[in-house]
Amino acid sequence: MPTIRLDNISKLYHLGEFEHWAVQAVDLTIEQGDFVFLVGSRGAGKSTLINIMAGVTKPTLGKVFLDNVNVEELRPREREQAFSSIRCIEQGAELDRSDTIYGNLSEEVRRFFFFRRRVVNKTLADKALAVVGVPESGDTFPRDLSRPECRRVLIAKAVLHSPAILMLDDFTDRMDEDTVWDMLHLLNELNRKGTTIIMSTNSSYVVNTMRRRVVTLADGKLVGDVKRGRYGYI
């Protein structure tokens, strides 16, 4: 299971004539088995940092290490393999409401040189759906499930192949407290079984309920890193 290490990471975005440093000089190490809340106000750089750690976004400056390997020194295929143990549920992620749950859990498989097709491994899908608490839902459509159940399916999709690291970007946004508690219980159980959890959030309720490691960003800079922290502890 990989350890993530960020060495002096910065990310610059060009917005027309303006420049914006979304993340600035961040040093951070996340060990295997950690449960980390990434907190800060909107615009603090949480999503950018999540995307950099997930391999979605390349930093402008600095280095990303997975198990002490600088990922920028890897060939494209090696880099893809290095990040294959990480799954990320992006901010605003939703299910395809025109497809079944099995369809939403299908994967794109390359065949020959250009042809691709969608494939469902129903054994893995049923196992993942059972783990997140929505068993026997594969043949249903998202409209047949409640919103909390749909959120569980998103987690099932992310953990289909038992990733070492699961990242969630503002996943509990706009959830009621009962649903949030159910999600946190599920994530805690995944973490107990060995999955590293990295979760960005603006919710003090989420952070204060769990009392796990809290990493705080402000204006793109790391200003706090507290074990068993509470929201606002730096």
At 41-57, the pLDDT tens digits run 888 999 999 999 999 99
* Residue 17 confidence class, pLDDT cut points 50, 70, 90: confident
Q: How large is the average pLDDT for residues 186-201?
A: 94
Q: Per this entry, what is the length of the chain?
A: 234
Lowest mean pLDDT among 21-35, 40-54, 96-110: 96-110
pLDDT reported for residue 211: 93
pLDDT reported for residue 116: 55
3-state secondary structure of 157: helix
3-state secondary structure of 53: helix
Amino acid 212 reads R
Burial zone of 73 (CB within 10 Å; 0-12 exposed, 13-18 middle, 19+ buried):
exposed
How is residue 128 annotated by DSSP?
H
The pLDDT of residue 166 is above 90 = yes
CATH topology of domain 4-226: Rossmann fold (3.40.50)
Distance of alpha carbon 58 from alpha carbon 38, whole angstroms: 19
75 Cβ neighbours under 8 A, 6+ residues apart: none
The pLDDT of residue 62 is above 60 = yes
How is residue 32 annotated by DSSP?
T
pLDDT reported for residue 72: 92
3-state secondary structure of 120: coil
Residue whose C-alpha is closest to residue 158's, from 40, 54, 48: 54
pLDDT reported for residue 117: 58
Token pair 């192949």 is at which residue? 161
